[in-house]
Structure 1
Amino acid sequence: MDRAVGRREVTLRDVAVAAQVSKATAARALGDYGAVRAEVRERVCRAAAKLGYRPNAVARMMSTGRSNTIGMVVGDIQNPFFAQATRGASDAADAAGYELILSNSDEAPALEAKAIGVQLDKRVDGLLIAPASSRNGDALSAVVAAGRPFVLFDRTVPQLDVDAVIADNRRGARVLTRLLTDAGHRRIAFLSTLEHPGGYRRGDVLSLSSVADRVAGFEQAMRDAGAERGAVVRLGAPREDIEPVAVELLTGGAGVTAVVASDSLIALGVYRACRDLELRIPDDVSLVAFDDAYWTGLVEPGITVMAQPMHAIGAEAAGILLRRIGGAPDGPQVRVLEQELIARGSVAAPAARLEPS
């Protein structure tokens, strides 16, 4: 560091003096706005690097009107889906010169509202949000009131006409379930951690559009196979303790011979339950799941999955948000991305001992 500056914090004025320009010119050069000759910009940047100057984000925001940050609110940071979607959004933001600030809602509307408030207090230029509820968009009203653009991802809120990027979950569930019905299964469980007090009844409106679409696809495939009466939709499985619920499904009166897991963490709980019960996959129980988690390809046999474009969902949502921040005038759009079936070895005909006599 320059000896004249000593140990005190380096200021924009120090950079301007070192580069022999005005403070305003130094600000324009470092903020990459306004008219500055290339050689002057280079001189200012060299001086800033030599002095170890770190720009004041608040001052930059006051001069440009932007913080060059975007906020992201995910439902469950432990879920591999959100980890990959965050990476996609971060990559897109970084390429555009933006930083990403991450918050976790724990799938709770109250925590989501708090997270959004914190993000707005940090003066983010826009937000990416996986809404904790598709039936209640109240938490998003603060974003609207603040005049910030936002893009939903993974889920939609039907009453809001806003940008969103989602996967084709209905088709994905239909394809996974048809694999099971084509193999001969007629008593199949769809398992999710989505809370739904009172238990699920056919036709219920669910609080997350992504799970609602998967349930709809599952039920459609069961109807198509003439097996509607054998469809078991089990919601509200505790995320931290999937195995007892899976054991109940596999050994209880429902006589389930196959499971569609709504994500890879649920599938792992079912897999462990089968191991504890000494049930073999797929000889005794067939298992399919959403999300191509690393472990699903390592176990033997591998688990058949519907791989979601997780990175692409995050990147596409961030791309739309950045265009909105830049003033893109086109109307709201909902992008639906295709999923990919990865067939492994976890599906077979139902075991005779589990079939009704």
Structure 2
Amino acid sequence: MAIDYDRLMAYQFPEIRHTLSKRDTAFYALSCGMGADPMNEKQLDFVDFHRTMKIMPSMPVILGYPGMFAADPATGINAVKVVHGEQNVTIHRPLPAEGEIIGRNRIVGLVDKGVDKGALLFTERTIHDAQGQLLATAGATVFLRGDGGFGGPAGPIPTPRALPTTKPDLVINSAAMCDSEACERDPHLAAEINFHAVAHIAGQCDTINAPLIQISTDYVFDGEKGEPYLTDDPMNPINVYGQTKMMGEEAARHGLHWHVIVRTSLVFSAFGQNVLTRTLRQIDTQDEIQAVTDQKANPTSAEAVAEALMVIGGAILRGKGDGFGTFHICGEPAVTRYEFLQAIMQAYAPFTERRPKLTPISSADIPNRVPRP
């Protein structure tokens, strides 16, 4: 189904209402690295319930978010080829650390770049409190790679914001195409994001002499070792995601002297799309959940990764280290996906009456599943 310009521009979003708690505010701040420095008391304002809590100024990006609306067949969008473009936030009033939040979303622009050239979709979300006061406005641009040539207008395209002119002290690149299934479907896009973009960033960092921390994955290994991998073990990825991430590592290593590679494993958070949020959604909507028992990983909280990056970045900025290195950052112990979902369901049990059945399966039981280490 192709995009119908008038229909998509008139797309109606449901009003999003949710109750923001101090716990939510603290979790978001922790995921951004607040509380990682034990000597910085100011960070406690963002994570300590007993203080007059502050909210991270970037949090409106997730408040009142309507979810992956592009997957709704009524939009006509090819959701498989949607790429995040940019986001902006305008804060109109002090943001509360708790209270009812109302999000009102709308599509404000749609530009047809032509056949095989994609389209640009512009959205706007106004965020209000329970009294209807406007707290913030969040804008976003989405690139619809598979949807050009539907006969829509070719403009106007907003003028890009000027790039910062100040030299960064340190660059951390966590951007990646992480969905293994999506990488197999579109290996070209996976290579563009996981390899070519890293090579470009590394080249720019080398030009301005800025250190680069490149986030990688345990998927650069094949999983056949039978014991924990060391940083100098040979890489042998078995799927497109792992292959392109390995290429990204090499781009960072050969692109500049001051580089650090940080490999993680099964990162989870209370926000975004990850194993934790997917499992909670499955608990709320499904009567049965299947999980494999023949593959292990080390679940790692995003907060732990952020804390480690603060330590590594701090050491770099203080001039310590010889200019490069590879680190493995992961939680303990290694568990199967089945065991991890068991733990999630047990932790979530006091907060829901839902008790879906958790069924153990093997990887071979999943047809056409992309191989994983």
TM-score by length of 2: 0.29
TM-score by length of 1: 0.30
* Higher share in helix: 1
Higher RCO by CA contacts (8 Å cutoff, separation 6 or greater): 1
* Higher share in strand: 2
- The structure having more radius of gyration, on CA atoms, is 1
